[in-house]
Amino acid sequence: MYGYAGRVLHIDLTTGKTNVEPLNEEYAKKYIGGIGLGMRLWLDYSKPGVEPFSPENPLIVATGPISGTVWPTGGNGHAFVSKSPQSYGVGESKAHGSFGTELKRAGYDAVIFKGKAEKPVYVWIDDDSVQLLDASHLMGKSPADTEDAIREELGDYYIRVAAIGLAGEKLSRIACIINDKTRAAGRTGLGAVMGSKNLKAIAVRGTRDIVVAKPDEFMEYVKEFHERMKGPATQKYRTLGTPENVLVHNALNCMPTRNYNNASFEGAEKVSGENLNERFVAKIIGCSSCAMRCEHMCVVAEGPYKNTMTRMEYETLWALGPYCGVDRLDAIIKGMELSNYYGIDAISAGVIAGFAMDCYEKGILTQKELDGIDARFGNHEAMVQLVEKIGKREGIGDILAEGAKNAGEKIGRGAEKLAQHIKGVEVTGYDLRCLKTAALGFAVSFRGADHNRHGAYAFDVKGKVNRLVAEKGRGKMVRGMEDSYTLIDSFIVCKFSRGTYYKELDDMAKLYSLVTGFEMTPDELKLAGERINNVGRLFNIREGLGRKDDTLPYKVMHLPIPDEGPSKGAYVTQAELDLLLDDYYEARGWTKEGVPTVEKLKELGMDDLIYIVEKKTDAEE
């Protein structure tokens, strides 16, 4: 096979046995790779209703057909897929850097971990040799320190490592998996699934050649995309980076502030992307094979947070900053560094810190219950302390590490209404009260609250629709974006490069064909995007999720935006949400309960998964 390695590695952590199976070529063509292939494989290797922390819950890491080539942004991604300990449905998260490219060169399209090691181990994949090695001396280490330690002890400084930190070891439901020191497969708590298997790290060294089907035409195409990457489509990422959003969102009053108590932040100027770049960005670096480079490395050189260094993006900046009312960039950078150190998703960590502050200000949690932390909104020291507590699962952090939803329920006294999440996954930096296309995208996202499953906020933020209105037609728009985003995550290319695919499906189909040698038409690819969204939905349905879970956080539906300005008074009513959901399910060809019909699955060539919907659709009729 070209592009694909053609092999899937199975590792049973209980027995230590490994075996390699050929990649199912039909799956490759139908589900492409990355999250598509990962979700499809997960359904094959798991039983319905499996507990996320059970040894029987497979943890899958998949590359895509483009991984390992020089394709700009496409060579370097990998995706983790498992059942999420947050949503109890699809857990999936991608990361870039250089781990995915190494895994492909080791000769694998996917690795499937099952079972649970008796003692902490790390797996050492050295091309065909796969070993489980003792990790007891690595316990408690940060992912970055784990990476360094493994390279040192194996004596090879080009080994790539994806590891969990203390949070993953302690089964924090917001734990992530970090590679290349600062690149996180952040969302949906997959670091805890890895921890539940006593698997501290995955170390890879791959030496095989990656060859594409049509090298000359491929290189011509690479050249063209190198040019496109220098153009306007990627300018934002190459210059200010995603933190540019701070002032944009603030001006539209669509930046959730102080745990959704406001939609704009008076301290926005202080934490703007402009300010960040001027004062803290020391270097912009790139992932393997990228011709765009976007990773803004920030360094704090003075003050109480001196000698802090981390990557920074809008979402994490927003969560640790405005969402906690914090207007100090140095503290935000510290919060981010701590999140990476303990291995927690910094978006969720910030949202949970904001939640705890809201509980404190409303008198639900006392200072004593918060281990003495004066958790006022805007107290940067409190934010940093809370992140640290969450990372260590220490004191109040033990409850908060369970995620906003669980923490809210455990604390009670109304705290559950302050927990802003969808399907147990904490919200991200778009105020859904005044971005109603985005609200639909968030509600139906198969991995819970997230902007990266659909990017539907673009219609609202760019003024292509009236963002304050819920109306028919939004379902089709969300559907289209979702189908394109699942392809991006299955190929895997970087979302920051999405604008360079001028003729989206045509370009992507051409790329796929040149790399793999499998002729793929734009129409077939479109169908693949739809198929992958359906497999995500089927995953969730098999695990018991449905229309009732396609909902919005409490405040989005009950607390109108109080801020003076363009979004004042906006929120989403149940009737509006129902209208949006009905419209979306119809656009998808699903039932009113959001279940794919047998006809739809046949149309998509998914006959082998009809068993999941048969009973459901019968019951509805």
Partner 1 sequence: MVKIHERKFVSSDPDKCVGCQVCEYICSLTKDKAFNPLKSRIRVVRINQLVNLAVTCRLCEDPPCVAACPRDALTQSEETGLINVDEDKCNGCGWCIEACDYGAIMLHPENKVVYVCDLCKDQGEPQCVKWCPEEALDLVTSDVLAQKARITAVKKLFQQAVKEASKSS
Greatest alpha-carbon pair distance for the chain in Å reads: 67
Site of interaction with partner 1 (CB under 8 A): 68-70, 72, 75, 98, 105, 181-182, 207-212, 215, 219, 226, 229-230, 282-293, 295, 297, 299, 309, 311
Nearer to partner 1, 282 or 469 (CB): 282
Nearer to partner 1, 181 or 547 (CB): 181
Least distance CB 285 / partner 1 (angstroms): 5
Least distance CB 200 / partner 1 (angstroms): 22
Nearer to partner 1, 48 or 215 (CB): 215
Which residues have CB under 8 Å from 430's CB, separation 6+?
249, 254, 256, 438, 442, 451, 457
DSSP string, 442-488: HHH-TTSS-STTT-THHHHHTTSS-TT---TTHHHHHHHHHHHHHHH
Instruction: For residues 449 and 424, give the distance between their C-alpha atoms in angstroms, rounded to a whole number.
Output: 8
Least distance CB 289 / partner 1 (angstroms): 6
Long-range contacts of 126-129 (CB under 8 A, 24+ apart): 126/204, 126/205, 127/205, 127/206, 127/207, 127/208
Least distance CB 556 / partner 1 (angstroms): 37
Least distance CB 167 / partner 1 (angstroms): 21
Query: Is 134 in a helix, a strand, or coil?
Result: strand
Nearer to partner 1, 83 or 311 (CB): 311
DSSP strand pairing (421-422 vs 59-62): unpaired
Residues in the chain, total? 621
Instruction: For residues 172 and 397, give the distance between their C-alpha atoms in angstroms, rounded to a whole number.
Output: 10
**Amino acid code (one letter) for 185:** A
Nearer to partner 1, 144 or 193 (CB): 144
Output DSSP code: residue 430. S
Nearer to partner 1, 69 or 250 (CB): 69
**Amino acid code (one letter) for 602:** K
Orientation angle between helical segments 474-491 and 574-588, nearest 10 degrees = 60
* Half-sphere exposure for 534 (CA within 13 Å, toward CB): 31
Which residues have CB under 8 Å from 128's CB, separation 6+?
107
Least distance CB 292 / partner 1 (angstroms): 8
Nearer to partner 1, 10 or 238 (CB): 238
Which residues have CB under 8 Å from 215's CB, separation 6+?
none
> Is the distance from CB of 143 to CB of 343 less than 8 angstroms?
yes
Nearer to partner 1, 1 or 468 (CB): 1
Instruction: For residues 291 and 303, give the distance between their C-alpha atoms in angstroms, rounded to a whole number.
Output: 35
Nearer to partner 1, 211 or 251 (CB): 211
Least distance CB 381 / partner 1 (angstroms): 26
Least distance CB 143 / partner 1 (angstroms): 13
Least distance CB 438 / partner 1 (angstroms): 32
Nearer to partner 1, 340 or 484 (CB): 340
Output DSSP code: residue 257. B
Least distance CB 147 / partner 1 (angstroms): 12
